[in-house]
Amino acid sequence: VESLGVKEVIFLPDVYLAKYVASQTKVKIIPWHGKCMVHEQFTAEELNQLRKNYPDLVIVSHPECPPDVIKASDFTGSTSGMIQYVKNNKPKNVFLVTECSMSDNVQVENPATNFVRPCNLCPHMKKIQLPKIYDCLVNETNEVLIDKSIIEKARLPIERMIKVGRQSSLA
């Protein structure tokens, strides 16, 4: 956000992610009030109960979680940040505060780690399936057509966003 060189940013799509970013910067964040239905289901009380059941539990949350959940976590980071944290720190027991399928994927690369799985499913993510993607690519179906004027208006901010992302990943 600071690399944009502005005093305020309209931040979307998630209000909790906006609050998290606001806690990390002096730039004024104007949040969009969207929420991820999976992340907002988690509570700090749930995490505290998990800690009672698993005293050595490491809680790793996504920044789209409510602030009290982030505060109750040991680490908060993007999806890739969460994966790297588990890979680098090799906790004995870990709870990923995000969509539950992610634990299955991360455990493949981290078989020595026990993934505690109170599960919140995302019905929208479950619609994304490899056979459907394959079918779209092979048969060129479900094409989304966008008016050229919209493409041109969107090109600059998208290219800028990609550039900022590349710069921050190199830092």
Q: Which residue has the higher pLDDT, 121 or 23?
A: 23
Mean pLDDT of the chain: 90
% of the chain residues with pLDDT over 70 = 98
- Tell me, what's the pLDDT at 148? 95
Q: What is the pLDDT of residues 3-57, one digit of tens each?
A: 888 999 999 889 999 999 999 999 999 999 888 888 888 999 999 999 999 989 9
> Cα dihedral angle (100, 104, 106, 112), rounded to 10 degrees?
120
Beta strands 28-31 and 93-97 are unpaired
pLDDT level of residue 169 (50, 70, 90 thresholds):
low
pLDDT reading at 170 higher than 60: no
Q: What is the mean pLDDT of residues 128-140?
A: 92
Burial class (CB in 10 A: 0-12, 13-18, 19+), 120: middle
Using DSSP, state whether 8 is helix, strand or coil.
Answer: strand
Q: What is the pLDDT of residues 81-109, one digit of tens each?
A: 999 999 999 999 999 999 888 888 899 99
Distance CA 163, CA 4 (A): 11
Q: What is the mean pLDDT of residues 64-78?
A: 95
Q: Write down the pTM of the prediction.
A: 0.79
Q: Which residue has the higher pLDDT, 7 or 118?
A: 7
Among residues 17, 20, 10, 70, which one has the least CA distance to residue 42?
70
- Tell me, what's the pLDDT at 16? 92
Q: What is the pLDDT of residues 135-155, one digit of tens each?
A: 999 999 998 999 999 999 999
